[in-house]
Structure 1
Amino acid sequence: MSFQRVFQSYLKDTLIVLLGTLLGALFAFLTQIQIARNLTVAQYGIFSTQLTLLNFLAPCIGMGISAFWLKAYGEEQEKAVRWMPISLKLVLLTSCLVLGIIIINALTTKNLSFIILLFFSLYCFGQSVVELVGSKYQIELNYKKFSIIQLIPHSLRLFIVLIIIILGESGLINFMIAYGVSGFLIVLYGAKDLINFFNQKALSNKSEIIKILDLLKKSFPFWSAGFLYLIYLQGAVLILNFLVGAEQVGYYSAAFVFLASVYIIPSVIYQKFLLPQLHKWAYHDNKKIKKVYSLGNKLMFFMGCIFLVILYLSSDFIVDLIYGDDYYNSILIVKILCFAIPFKFISSSVGAILSTKDYVGRKVKLMLIASIFNILLNFILIYYFSSIGAAIATVLTEIFLMIMLMSLYKLSYARKL
């Protein structure tokens, strides 16, 4: 295949993934706005707290195997099928453990029904299916299906939330039910493809015994990276709720919606599209890795600065337009948070490369340091400055993590290319 055809194919795939993910981000953004507008600030804080907890639990189902699959297939190619039987066992085991945590939370949470919280938790299992099935499509380079599975959850939630609002049934309980329904439908939608993926037969007739512990050793660093990322990205919500209450969570969550929407851009480029290729290039084409690092950092910094300026200058207008006077306190939070964007964009570029070969373990150690740094900052700054302190902690953590990741690449990874 000629270079031109290869380039056209990559461009087409990139546009498909970009379109699907951007639409998904838009739908997620609109969903959060509608929920925030139809709840009090305190109720939105309660909703955000429970949603954040489920976002922490979703990656625990499978303990990072969706990301490990990308590495395994990049390194072993067809032979990676050998990991499938034990992957199924790990998913079932971790699903039971997550369900146990969900039940404990439902039993101990005050002012919310046990049944409602259990039903709401179906969102968590839906998110897990999206990640697992999404990895299958990435491995197959089927970016059309990958875009669809990424788009469906956000489309469903927006549709159901709008129906609730139109029917005049807006309320915290009904919005939680909406998320539960969407999670249930996503599990049904992805179950067939996921089961078929698990049931692949190995190329060799020789039976290879792989234990769950063997798989955990391989997947745990990937889970750790994702989980630690969530800690320093969303941990502020839980700490805010613990220290100052649901109302401040509402202000911070309303502001963070904008940041999360912008963060979709580097996620699409690196995690959704380039990562499977990066795993291959890391083992077979060092020159491309160097080019991706150099060009990627420059492009990410430039794009990040553009989004920083746009969001900073428009924050007063968009917060007032979207949320109204009730969320006036979110404006300053948005202004502070937008300074994290360029550093996050660069970290996405460097971090994706450090997810290849055997560097993910070192990357995890840096993310652990960043998470501890973030938690300590949040407890100190939230205590004195409430939600403003949480925003400052987020920006400082992004800067700190970017410096550490770039140092690891230059001092270790680049020297071995």
Structure 2
Amino acid sequence: MLPHSWRSAAAAITVLWLATLAAAGMIFLSQTLLARRLGPSDYGLFASSLATVSMLAPLAGFGLSQFRLKAYGSEGWSAERWLRPALRFSLLSTMLAWLLLAAWAWFAPGIDAATRTALWALLPVVVGLLAVDLVGSKLRLEERHGALAAWQLLMPGGRLLVAMLAFAAVSVSATAVALGYGLVAALVAMLAAPQLWAMWRGRIDLKGHGPRPEAASALDIPSVAQLSAQAWAYGLAAVLYPIFFQISTVLLKYLGSDAQAGHYGVALAIMTAVYLLPATIYQKFLLSRLHRWAAHDQPKFWRVYRLGNRCMAAAGAAIGLALAALAPWLVPALFGSAYAGVAAVLMVLALCTPIRFLSTSVGSVLLTAQHMRYRVLAMLAATAAAVALNAAAVPHYGELGAAWATVIAESLLLLSMWLGARRVMAKAVIA
């Protein structure tokens, strides 16, 4: 018989994993329907526009949800002092993200009218993703795994509905799909409003830190500048990740063609679904606990770290092999003969699966305390490498060049995460 704590953890992970599978299925089906309905060129226009918005969207909030998990993990109930500056910080950073996206839509070189319209239609996605992120952090702190599982299905569920309507329509364009995605994001933000209001009013059922103090001492309310100084590393990491992940699709559009971006976007959609597994375990289940254990239970922190590395390496290798083996017949069967060339791209990207799974677990050490600075520098170096490698490979080798550039960049990121984790572990052993 397993201990009660283990049974509770297994039940929570199962709920989140089932929701992740459902979300992965929705994402996969959405991309399949849109790719078939729009064709490589229009789908490439839509996918590259969505990738552009996804790269700029993390500027809204700029790591606020990740910082909140760290603050509550180390300060407990006293972290409520950050709530007021967090509201102002969210508003200012969201306005900045909108302005930058609008500037890109108007002034970026090579943007045609259809792409500009799609970018404008996707503006609400910035607020929608911020709302998903902030409510998700609240639910993780409250350890409401069922609610978190349901919450993470809203955005992919709404997008699937848009894709189904587009597939059934007599005529549809990339712009119409972008408008649908924007509407879904706006509705998700509206649904998030009550939870966000409760959070900023201090109504949170924090777990792992005992009951709320009945007579809390007066809290020193930080300024927005102080919050920015604390959260910048988390924000920069949040901004760098989508650039690192999406830059290939964007550069394929501007250095290649919409059709090339469409082919790569299909492969990337499949990889996005695969990467939901480590993201669910570490971002949705373990992250708030890792912050707490790093501050208050170091032995448990390191036990979980070692076990996670072994499990992620094994799972990543198994899934990567299966993906490479199935790609030659899976892609044409699902997306049609127009995307047959995507199979070769997917077989290359399958190499990233064990690399990404392991870098997620290894990098979990660097999500805490002062180690975030190293993590940001590692991500910055890997992102710069991804941009440079894609810029060099895409004009000559198209989608396959982008895929190999991604494999190299993912390997560099894993190597830097591993070196950083070794340094942190060595200091922990000495201490």
Q: Same fold (TM over 0.5)?
A: yes
Measure, in 2, the Cα distance between the counterparts of 1:302 and 1:103: 43
Give the 5 Å matches for 1:83-94. 83-94=82-93
CA 1:124–1:169: 2 relative to 1, 3 Å: farther
What does the per-residue CA deviation read over 1:217-266, in whole Å, with 9 as the maximum and x for residues that have no partner? Answer: 11111111122222221111122222112111111111111111111111
Query: 1:143 Cα deviation (Å)?
Result: 1.2
Residue 40 of structure 2 is matched in structure 1 by 41
Partner amino acid for 1:124? V
Select 1:350's aligned residue among 326, 340, 362. 362
Residue 146 of structure 1 is matched in structure 2 by 148
Measure, in 2, the Cα distance between the counterparts of 1:142 and 1:386: 44
Select 2:409's aligned residue among 397, 402, 405. 397
Q: Does the CA contact (< 8 Å) of 1:38 and 1:171 recur in 2?
A: no
CA 1:345–1:114: 2 relative to 1, 3 Å: closer
Partner amino acid for 1:243? L
Query: 1:204 Cα deviation (Å)?
Result: 4.1
Partner amino acid for 2:77? E
Measure, in 1, the Cα distance between the counterparts of 2:66 and 2:186: 23
Measure, in 1, the Cα distance between the counterparts of 2:398 and 2:311: 34
Measure, in 1, the Cα distance between the counterparts of 2:375 and 2:125: 29
Q: Does the CA contact (< 8 Å) of 1:351 and 1:405 recur in 2?
A: yes
1:99 is the counterpart of 2:92: no
Q: Does the CA contact (< 8 Å) of 2:382 and 2:409 recur in 1?
A: yes
Aligned identity (percent) is: 29
What does the per-residue CA deviation read over 1:340-394, in whole Å, with 9 as the maximum and x for residues that have no partner? Answer: 1111110000111210121011111111111111111111111221111110011
CA 1:198–1:142: 2 relative to 1, 3 Å: same
Q: Does the CA contact (< 8 Å) of 1:83 and 1:210 recur in 2?
A: yes
Measure, in 2, the Cα distance between the counterparts of 1:391 and 1:33: 20
Measure, in 1, the Cα distance between the counterparts of 2:246 and 2:60: 19
Give the 5 Å matches for 1:293-304. 293-304=305-316
Partner amino acid for 1:234? Q
Query: 1:292 Cα deviation (Å)?
Result: 1.8
1:111 is the counterpart of 2:123: no
What does the per-residue CA deviation read over 1:76-98, in whole Å, with 9 as the maximum and x for residues that have no partner? Answer: 01110000000000111111112
After superposing the two structures, state which structure 1 stretch, 239-248 or 328-337, moved more. 239-248
Measure, in 2, the Cα distance between the counterparts of 1:286 and 1:414: 13
1:222 is the counterpart of 2:251: no
Partner amino acid for 1:166? A
Measure, in 2, the Cα distance between the counterparts of 1:264 and 1:142: 19
Query: 1:116 Cα deviation (Å)?
Result: 5.5
Q: Does the CA contact (< 8 Å) of 2:62 and 2:239 recur in 1?
A: no
What does the per-residue CA deviation read over 1:152-208, in whole Å, with 9 as the maximum and x for residues that have no partner? Answer: 111111113212322434321221111011011101100111011112289746362
CA 1:323–1:116: 2 relative to 1, 3 Å: closer
1:60 is the counterpart of 2:72: no
After superposing the two structures, state which structure 1 stretch, 284-293 or 34-43, moved more. 284-293
Measure, in 2, the Cα distance between the counterparts of 1:163 and 1:236: 28
Residue 188 of structure 1 is matched in structure 2 by 190
Give the 5 Å matches for 1:103-182. 103-108=102-107, 109-112=111-114, 117-182=119-184
CA 1:175–1:297: 2 relative to 1, 3 Å: same
Measure, in 2, the Cα distance between the counterparts of 1:32 and 1:128: 22
Query: 1:275 Cα deviation (Å)?
Result: 0.8
Measure, in 1, the Cα distance between the counterparts of 2:171 and 2:199: 40
Q: Does the CA contact (< 8 Å) of 2:124 and 2:185 recur in 1?
A: yes
Measure, in 2, the Cα distance between the counterparts of 1:336 and 1:172: 28
Measure, in 1, the Cα distance between the counterparts of 2:6 and 2:221: 41
Measure, in 2, the Cα distance between the counterparts of 1:24 and 1:94: 28
Partner amino acid for 2:166? I
Q: Secondary structure at the match of 2:24?
A: helix
Q: Secondary structure at the match of 1:386?
A: helix
Measure, in 2, the Cα distance between the counterparts of 1:80 and 1:66: 13
What does the per-residue CA deviation read over 1:105-155, in whole Å, with 9 as the maximum and x for residues that have no partner? Answer: 343442228665433211221111000110011111111111111111111
C-alpha RMSD of the superposition? 1.8
Q: Secondary structure at the match of 2:369?
A: coil
Residue 198 of structure 1 is matched in structure 2 by 200
Select 1:292's aligned residue among 289, 296, 304. 304
Residue 278 of structure 1 is matched in structure 2 by 290
Q: Does the CA contact (< 8 Å) of 1:271 and 1:352 recur in 2?
A: no
1:10 is the counterpart of 2:14: no
Measure, in 1, the Cα distance between the counterparts of 2:367 and 2:334: 37
What does the per-residue CA deviation read over 1:257-283, in whole Å, with 9 as the maximum and x for residues that have no partner? Answer: 111111111101111111111111111
Q: Does the CA contact (< 8 Å) of 1:18 and 1:268 recur in 2?
A: yes
What does the per-residue CA deviation read over 1:288-308, in whole Å, with 9 as the maximum and x for residues that have no partner? Answer: 222222221111111111111
Residue 320 of structure 1 is matched in structure 2 by 332
Query: 1:11 Cα deviation (Å)?
Result: 1.5
Select 2:258's aligned residue among 229, 246, 249. 246
Measure, in 2, the Cα distance between the counterparts of 1:55 and 1:114: 15
Any stretches of 5+ residues in structure 1 without a counterpart?
Answer: none
1:336 is the counterpart of 2:345: no
Q: Does the CA contact (< 8 Å) of 1:308 and 1:338 recur in 2?
A: yes
Partner amino acid for 1:359? H
What does the per-residue CA deviation read over 1:12-67, in whole Å, with 9 as the maximum and x for residues that have no partner? Answer: 11111111122111101111111111112111111011101111122111110000
Q: Secondary structure at the match of 1:200?
A: coil
Measure, in 2, the Cα distance between the counterparts of 1:25 and 1:34: 14
Residue 318 of structure 2 is matched in structure 1 by 306
